[in-house]
Structure 1
Amino acid sequence: MSIILMLLPALAWGILPLAVSKINGKPINQIFGTAVGTLIVSIVVLLIMRPSISIGTFLLAALAGGFWIIGQLGQYNAYREIGVSQTMPISTGLQLIGTSLIGVFLFGEWVSTNAKIFGFLGIILLIIGVFLTAKKDQKSSSTNNQTRTLVMLILTTIGFLVYNSIPKAMTSSGLAIFFPESVGMVIAVLLYIIFTRQPKILKEKSSWQSLLAGFIFSIASVTYILSVRDNGVNSAFVVSQLSVVISTIGGMVFLRETKSRHELQLTIFGLVLIVIGAVVTTLF
C-alpha cells in the first residue's frame, strides 16, 4: 500500500495538466473549477477525518491556498501559450530551485558541508535542466511570445514558493491544512473574478467541467500527505517529481504537441537533469 501511495501523487499531478488542457475554456474557467473541485473534496475529507484546526492554522493555510492560485493560474496560461510539454519542466524546475533556496536561507536546511555541496550541485543541475527544456529552435516558435511566457512563469512561480513555504513554518500540517487551503483557493479565485470583472465565467460550462481538475489535484494532494506519513518526506517528494515526466511525455503523445528532433533531445536530457537535481537536493 505504501508503494501505491508513493506513486499516486506523481500519476495524478502528471495527468492534471493533460486533463485541464483537454477541457475547453480559458485559464480563468480552469482555475475556478480546480479550486471549487478541491474545496468539495476537502469538505469530504474534513467530515471523515475530522482533523483539529486552530484559527492560526486556518488563516495561514488559507493564505497559502491563495498564493497557490497565483502559481497555478500562471501554469494554466502557459499551457495555452507554449504547451504542457514545455511548461511543466520549466515550472517544476523553477519551483524546485526556489523551494531549495528558501529552505536553506529561511529554514536553515543543508546544515552540513556535504549537504550544501550536494544541494547546490543539485540546483545547478536543475538550472541546466530548465534551460535545456526551455530552449526552442528559432524557426519553430515565436521568440517574443516564449520570452513573455517564461517571464510570466517566473513571476507566478512566487505563488507556488509561498504556498510550499508557509506549511514549513506551521506546527500543523498534512490533512489539517487541506481544507483551509482549499478555502483560500476559492476566495482568491472569486476575488480575481471580481477584480477582472468576469462574473460570466460562473455560468460557463467549461468552468464546471473543470471540477475534474480539482478532483485530480485533490487525489494527488491527499495521497502525497499519506505517502509522507508512510514513506517519509524525502522518498515521497522525490517520487512525486516524476509527475513532470508523465505530463511532459503526455503533452507530446496525447495533446500532439510537436517538437523538432533537436528540441526533443534537449527536452529529454533536461528532464533527466531535473529529476536527478530533485533527488540530489532532497536526499543529501
Structure 2
Amino acid sequence: MHILIALIPSLCWGSIGLLSAKFGGNSSQQTLGLTLGGLLFGFLTYFLWVLPHGYAMNWQIVIIGLVSGVLWTVGQGFQFIAIKSMGVSRAVPLSMTSQIVGNALLGAALLGEWTKVSQWIAGIVAIALIVLGAVWIQTEDKTGKKSNNDIKKNAVGGFLPLLLSTLGFMGYFIAPKLLQRWMDIPAQIINAEHGVQYMITIIFPQSIGMVIGGILFVFMITHETKQLISKITFTNAITGVVWAVGNVALFVSIANPNLGQAAASTLSSLGFIVGAFGGIFILHEKKSSHQMILISLGTVLAVIGAVIISNLDYFANII
C-alpha cells in the first residue's frame, strides 16, 4: 500500500503540464492559478485535518512551510516557461529526471538514508535506469532538422528555465526534512505519528508561501501582469488542487519509515511517463515511429528503476 501512495504524486504531478496546456493561459496565469488551488487545499487541510487532530503549529513550522512553498513556486513557474518552449512531452521528462537525481542524492547524502555501500550501489543503478529511460522518452527525432535559431531558442528558452526549475523543486523537497534539523524542532513534534503529523502541519503555511512566491514570480520574473486575474487563472486553480493531493501523498510517503526521502521523492517524480504519453495522446504532440520505440523502451527502464529504488533494502542485500 505504501508504494501505491508514493506513486500518487507522479500521477498528479505528471498531469499538471497536461491540464495547464488544456486550460491555456500564459506562465503567470498558470503559476498563480495553481498556487490559488494549492492555497484552497491548504485551508481545507488545516481546518479539517490539523485543527481537529490538535496538531502542533509553531513558528518554526510556519517558516519551514513558507520557505518550502516559495521554492516550489520557483520550480513550477520555471517549468511552465520551459514547457512553453519545449513542449510537455520533452520538458516534463527532463525536469522530473533532474529532480530524481537531485532529490535522491540529497536524501541519501544530507539526510543519511543510504548507510551501506550496497544501498548506494543499488540506488545509483536505479537512478541510472530512470535517467536513461527519461532520456530515451524525450529524445528528438533523428530525422528532424532544426535551424540554428531554433537550437538557440531551446537552449536559452528551455534548458535554462529547466535548470532553475530543478533547483527550486530540489529545495522544496529537501526543506521540510533539512530545516527541521537546523531549527531544532522538538522531537515529540517530528516523531509524532512517524512524522506524518509534522509533514501534514507544514502544508498550510507552505500553501501561503506558494502564493507569495507566485506573486513574486509574476512581478519579478515573467512581468506578465495583463489579465492576471481572469477566468483562465481561476480555471488553472484546478491544477493546484490536483498538485496538492500529490503533495499530501508525498509528505505521507516521506514520513513512512519503509520509504524515506530518497525513495519517496524518486517515485513521485515518475510523472514524466504520464507527461510523455499524455503529451502524445492528449495534446497530440507528434512523434515518429523511432521516437515511439524509444519512449516505450524508456518507460520500461524507468519502471525497473522505480521497482529497485522502492525495494532498495531487498536489492541491496542481493548485491
| Greater alpha carbon shift after TM alignment, 59-68 vs 167-176 | 167-176
The match for 2:152 among 141, 144, 147 is: 144
Q: How much does 1:222 deviate?
A: 2.4
Tell me the distance in 2 between the aligned counterparts of 1:46 and 1:68: 19
Q: How much does 1:34 deviate?
A: 0.4
Q: Which residue of 2 aligns with 1:218?
A: 244
Q: How much does 1:115 deviate?
A: 0.5
Q: How much does 1:68 deviate?
A: 0.7
Q: Could you tell me the TM-score, scaled by structure 1's length?
A: 0.88
Contact 1:96 1:278 in 2 (8 A): no
Contact 1:100 1:281 in 2 (8 A): no
The match for 1:181 among 202, 206, 209 is: 206
Measured against aligned partners, the alpha-carbon deviations of 1:59-88 in whole angstroms (never above 9, x if no partner) come to: 122111111111111221222222211222
Q: Is 1:83 aligned to residue 87 of structure 2? A: yes
Q: Which residue of 2 aligns with 1:102?
A: 106
Structure 1's unaligned 5+ residue stretches are none
Tell me the distance in 2 between the aligned counterparts of 1:268 and 1:83: 19
Structure 2's unaligned 5+ residue stretches are 191-197, 313-319
Q: Is 1:200 aligned to residue 204 of structure 2? A: no
Alignment CA distance shift 1:97-1:143 (3 Å): same
Q: Residue type matched to 2:293 in 1?
A: Q
Measured against aligned partners, the alpha-carbon deviations of 1:150-189 in whole angstroms (never above 9, x if no partner) come to: 3321232000001111112225432111111111111111
| Greater alpha carbon shift after TM alignment, 267-276 vs 150-159 | 267-276
Q: Residue type matched to 1:88 in 2?
A: V
Contact 1:89 1:274 in 2 (8 A): no
| Greater alpha carbon shift after TM alignment, 194-203 vs 251-260 | 194-203
**Residues 53-68 of structure 1: pairs in structure 2 closer than 5 A:** 53-68=57-72
Secondary structure in 1 matching 2:56: coil
Q: Which residue of 1 aligns with 2:96?
A: 92
User: What is the Cα-based RMSD across aligned positions, in Å?
Assistant: 2.6
| Greater alpha carbon shift after TM alignment, 201-210 vs 37-46 | 201-210
Alignment CA distance shift 1:241-1:265 (3 Å): same
Q: Which residue of 2 aligns with 1:19?
A: 19
**Residues 1-284 of structure 1: pairs in structure 2 closer than 5 A:** 5=5, 8-49=8-49, 50=51, 51-137=55-141, 139=144, 142-148=150-156, 149-169=158-178, 170=180, 172=190, 173-196=198-221, 197-226=223-252, 232-233=258-259, 240-284=268-312
| Greater alpha carbon shift after TM alignment, 269-278 vs 225-234 | 225-234
Query: For the pair shown, which has the larger CA radius of gyration, 1 or 2?
Result: 2
Secondary structure in 2 matching 1:202: coil
Contact 1:89 1:271 in 2 (8 A): no
Alignment CA distance shift 1:151-1:236 (3 Å): closer
Measured against aligned partners, the alpha-carbon deviations of 1:192-249 in whole angstroms (never above 9, x if no partner) come to: 2333544434323211211111111112222444566689436866654453322221
Q: Residue type matched to 2:80 in 1?
A: Y
